[in-house]
Structure 1
Amino acid sequence: MTFQTACLTDDLAPEEAMLVELDGVDGAPVPVALVRDADGDYHAISDICSHGQVSLSDGEVEGCLVECWLHGSQFDVRTGQPVQLPAIRPVPVYPVNVEGDKVLVDIDGQPAGGS
């Protein structure tokens, strides 16, 4: 596992999301939605909605759900599973570690959930 710094802990308030682009194994940027849930925990999922191919980090966060702004699909940021149609496929979920004031994400390994 290779963790990369995604942001600082103060960069996200609870129930906020942001787009970060991390270096993939092939050197290409990988778009990741970094989400802080209502409890203050950090989660990393693919930024691309599995239904509409748009940025999930632009959507609203409520509790542990992020909503796609285009068609209203909602995903559980802990599992990547869709909980609201029209999306039926999950999005990949990446491991997150918080070390001091840094939020680290590992996109190198096989992501959980998603395709």
Structure 2
Amino acid sequence: MTDFIKVAELDELEEGALLAAEVDGEPICLARVNGDVCAFTDNCTHISGPLNEGDLDGDILTCPWHGAQFNVRTGKVVRGPARQDIQTYPVKIEDDSIFVRIPEETYSA
């Protein structure tokens, strides 16, 4: 498993907002929900729509391409057409910086 890697400053991510980031070239998306920061893959599992361009309503994210919905805390599909959950990643906050850890097996080939 990789170490936690700094991806953004906390003040870059407003409450209820989404932010695109990368960890070693792997695209991820950050969401701030009720003060918590959630991290997950930035590609919808339906046909890879950019989740950072979606709509966040509470902890439910809607993909901008075909309306698939996911819970950003758990990664679970809430509404299709996606059938596969999105990958979520551990987050830690230190000194107002956001750090994310992505397991080795997650990296694209």
Query: By the TM > 0.5 criterion, same fold?
Result: yes
Aligned ranges 1:81-92 → 2 under 5 Å = 81-92=76-87
* DSSP-derived class of the 2:47 partner: coil
Which of 70, 74, 78 is 1:75 aligned to? 70
- 1:58-80 per-residue CA deviation (whole Å, 9 max, x = no partner) reads 10111111110011111101111
Unaligned runs of 5+ in 2: none
2:97 is aligned to 102
Unaligned runs of 5+ in 1: 24-28
Kindly tell me the number of residue pairs found equivalent between the two proteins: 105
Q: TM-score, normalised by structure 1?
A: 0.86
The alpha-carbon deviation at position 83 of structure 1 amounts to 0.1
Are 1:47 and 2:48 an aligned pair?
A: no
Aligned ranges 1:55-70 → 2 under 5 Å = 55-70=50-65
1:33 is aligned to 29
**Deviant stretches of 4+, over 6 Å:** none
The alpha-carbon deviation at position 52 of structure 1 amounts to 2.1
CA RMSD of aligned residues (A): 1.3
Tell me which amino acid in the other structure corresponds to 1:54.
G
